[in-house]
């Protein structure tokens, strides 16, 4: 049996209020979200399971690179809430890894892609945003020194 994923069925749309103003991280966030949505759409359109699996694994790698970039920036600015933020990344990673280690079906791929988009939007609003604010003020301080 594949692991149970907490699924939220509300329609997921990209909203401008999650734009952070950091160009690199915003691009990564948008790319990640777009890819997750493409997987959801492809699974609904009956795309081949092999193709879906490749896309989902690509998404997992992309998340890995993105988390690594954020965590590197957290270390650079000695971000006060780095440990909590890293724990959130870890829990996402663990859930996704758990899924990737079980046999895929179209339905579970779709559920995971939906869960991923949902997790991502919430994480960006609640956890990334305060970090990006701290990053901006650290950069501002560095310029005015
Ligand atoms: Fe992020
Ligand atoms: Fe994050």
Residue 66: CATH number of its domain: 1.20.120.50
Structure tokens at 114: 């939906």
Measured from the alpha carbon of residue 31, the closest ligand is 1
Ligand 2 centroid to Cα of residue 66, in Å, is 8
Query: pTM of the entire structure?
Result: 0.81
Ligand 1 centroid to Cα of residue 129, in Å, is 8
Ligand 1 centroid to Cα of residue 86, in Å, is 11
Query: Does residue 135 belong to any structural domain of this protein?
Result: yes
- Please, are residues 12 and 121 in contact by the beta-carbon 8 Å criterion? yes
Ligand 1 centroid to Cα of residue 126, in Å, is 10
Give whole-number Cα distances, 49 to 37, 43, 96, 111, 120, in Å. 16, 8, 17, 13, 23
Measured from the alpha carbon of residue 126, the closest ligand is 2
Q: Give the residue among 54, 32, 44, 19 at the shortest CA–CA distance from 136.
A: 19
Distance CA 12, CA 139 (A): 32
Least confident of 1-10, 108-117, 129-138: 1-10
Ligand 2 centroid to Cα of residue 102, in Å, is 25
Distance CA 92, CA 104 (A): 18
Query: Does residue 3 belong to any structural domain of this protein?
Result: no
Asked if residue 87 has pLDDT above 80, the reply is yes
Query: Does residue 38 belong to any structural domain of this protein?
Result: no
Residue 98: domain span: 46-144
Query: Does residue 109 belong to any structural domain of this protein?
Result: yes
Least confident of 40-49, 80-89, 124-133: 40-49
Distance CA 45, CA 42 (A): 5
| pLDDT range class, residue 107, cuts 50, 70, 90 | confident
- Please, are residues 22 and 135 in contact by the beta-carbon 8 Å criterion? yes
Query: Does residue 80 belong to any structural domain of this protein?
Result: yes
Ligand 1 centroid to Cα of residue 24, in Å, is 10
Measured from the alpha carbon of residue 89, the closest ligand is 2
């Amino acid at each position: 049996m594949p692991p149970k994923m907490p699924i939220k069925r509300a329609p997921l749309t990209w909203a401008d209020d999650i734009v952070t103003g950091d160009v690199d991280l915003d691009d990564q966030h948008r790319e990640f979200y777009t890819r997750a949505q493409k997987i959801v759409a492809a699974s609904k359109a009956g795309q081949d399971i092999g193709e879906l699996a490749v896309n989902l694994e690509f998404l997992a790698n992309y998340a890995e690179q993105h988390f690594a970039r954020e965590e590197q920036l957290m270390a650079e600015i000695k971000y006060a809430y780095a440990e909590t933020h890293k724990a959130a990344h870890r829990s996402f990673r663990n859930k996704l890894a758990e899924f990737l280690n079980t046999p895929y079906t179209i339905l579970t791929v779709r559920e995971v892609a939906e869960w991923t988009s949902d997790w991502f939007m919430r994480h960006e609003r609640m956890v990334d945003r305060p970090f990006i604010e701290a990053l901006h003020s650290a950069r501002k301080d560095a310029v005015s020194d």
